[in-house]
Amino acid sequence: MAKKVIVIDDSRTVRQQVSAVLTEAGYEVIEASDGIEGAETISATKDVAMVICDVNMPRMNGIDMLSLLKKDPRHANLIVLMLTTEGQPGPIARAKQAGARGWIVKPFETHLLLAAVRKLAGAPV
Amino acid sequence: MQQSDREDFRAIVIEACRHVLPQCDLPIANDPQQLEALVERSEQLAAFIGFSADALRGSVIMLVPLELVRLSYPLPLKSGIEGHLELFDWCGEIVNRLLGRIKAGLAVRGVEVEPSTPKTMLGEQLQFMITEPSNVCALRFDCRASRLAVVVDAVSSSEDVLFRAPDGALTSQPEGALLFL
C-alpha cells in the first residue's frame, strides 16, 4: 500500500503541482486547503506518512495548526515539512519549536521536494 | 512614510517584480514605467494581498490581462469554470509570492511584516486611483505583447524612518533550498 502524504495549501495550483510530483513517484496524496481542514484531515486519516504544509493560509496558519496537533499524543511523531513563500528566521524558528522537520521556500524544485519526502517519509511503499 | 523609506520600498518592489514574475512565466521588461492612472478595457484579473507590521500596513495589487495569466499557468488548464478558477488561484499565488519576496527585502531592513491571504477578482475596465501619500509605487511592465501593473500602497503610523541599513544576519532562506530542522 502506498504511503499517505497530506498536502495543505490554500492554493489549488500548488496543491496540484505537489500532488502531481508525489503521485507520479508512487505516494498517495490527500489534499486540504487551510489549517483547520488540514487538522481535521490529519485526525481523520490513518497511517499518515508525512504532511507538507503552507504557512500563510486563511482561518488557521500552518504553524498554529502544527502546534495544535502536537498537543495531541496521537500526533506527537507526525512528520511535517513546511512549503511556503516565507523564509525569515523568525517563522522558521517558530515552526521548528512547533515540531516541523523541514522547510522549503517556494518555488520548489521537483527533485528537491521529492528528495525531502523520501528522506522524511521513506520510499513510497 | 519618510521619503527615504518610500524610495527603499520602491526599490524592493521593483527587485521583487523582476525576480518573481519571470519565475512565474510572466517575462516582464526590465524597466517599469510609472503609472499615473489606470483604466484597462480588456478582461483583467486583479489580485490583492495585504500586509501589516508594527508601524506599517498596506497592500500589493497586481493587475494582469486574463490571457497573460492563462499563458503563464504552470499546469494543464481545465476547461470551463474550473479553468477560470484555476487562473484566479494562480494569480493569487503570484501576488502571494511577490509579497513573500517584498517581505524578505523588508526583513533585511528590520521591518517584519505579516501577510494576509490573497484575493482575486475579474473585471473589465478596472480603474485604480493612484493616491498620494499612501502610494509607494505604481509600476507598469511590458510583458509579451501586453502589459501588467503592480501597485503598492502603505501607510506608516510613525514619523520616524522605519528602514534600517540592510543587515545580512536577517537574510531569508534562499528559494527552493531544503532546510532540515
pLDDT tens for residues A70-122?
999 999 999 999 999 989 988 999 999 999 999 999 999 999 999 999 999 99
Contacts of B92 in chain A (CB under 8 A): 11
Contacts of A10 in chain B (CB under 8 A): 117
Interface mutation vs chain B, best among A56, A97, A101, most B CBs within 10 Å: A56
Average pLDDT estimate for B108-135: 87
Burial profile B64-76: b = 16 or more Cβ within 10 angstroms, e = fewer: bbbebbbebbeee
Interface mutation vs chain A, best among B93, B106, B111, most A CBs within 10 Å: B93
Q: Is B77 on the interface with A (CB under 8 A)?
A: no
pLDDT of residue A24: 97
| Residue B39 pLDDT exceeds 80 | no
Q: Which of residues 106-135 of B touch A (CB under 8 A)?
A: 107, 112, 115, 117
Inter-chain touch A87–B170, beta carbons under 8 Å: no
- The answer to whether the Cα torsion of B33, B174, A84, B77 is positive or negative is positive
- Which residue in B90, B97, B103 is closest to A106 by CB distance? B97
ipTM: 0.90
Cβ contacts below 8 Å, chain A against chain B, sum to: 93
The answer to whether B44 and B69 are in contact (CB under 8 A) is no
Q: Phi/psi of residue A7, each to 5°?
A: -110, 120
Name the band, by pLDDT with cuts 50, 70 and 90, for residue B121: very high
Predicted TM-score (pTM) above 0.80 = yes
Average pLDDT estimate for B118-128: 87
DSSP state of A20: H
- Who wins on pLDDT, A41 or B126? A41
Whole-angstrom CA distances from A94 to A12, A57, B53 are 25, 16, 18
Rounded Cα distance between B173 and A103, Å, is: 9
Q: Is B97 on the interface with A (CB under 8 A)?
A: yes
Q: Which of residues 1-30 of B touch A (CB under 8 A)?
A: 23
Structure-block grid coordinates of residue A57: 493560509
The Cα of B116 is separated from the nearest Cα of chain A by a number of Å equal to 7
Inter-chain touch A12–B86, beta carbons under 8 Å: yes
- Which residue in A85, A105, A108 is closest to B96 by CB distance? A85
Digit-coded pLDDT (tens) for A53-80: 999 999 999 999 999 999 999 999 999 9
pLDDT of residue B38: 66
pLDDT of residue A14: 97
Inter-chain touch B103–A86, beta carbons under 8 Å: yes
> Could you tell me what percent of chain A has a pLDDT over 70?
100
Closest residue in A to B72 (Cα) is A13
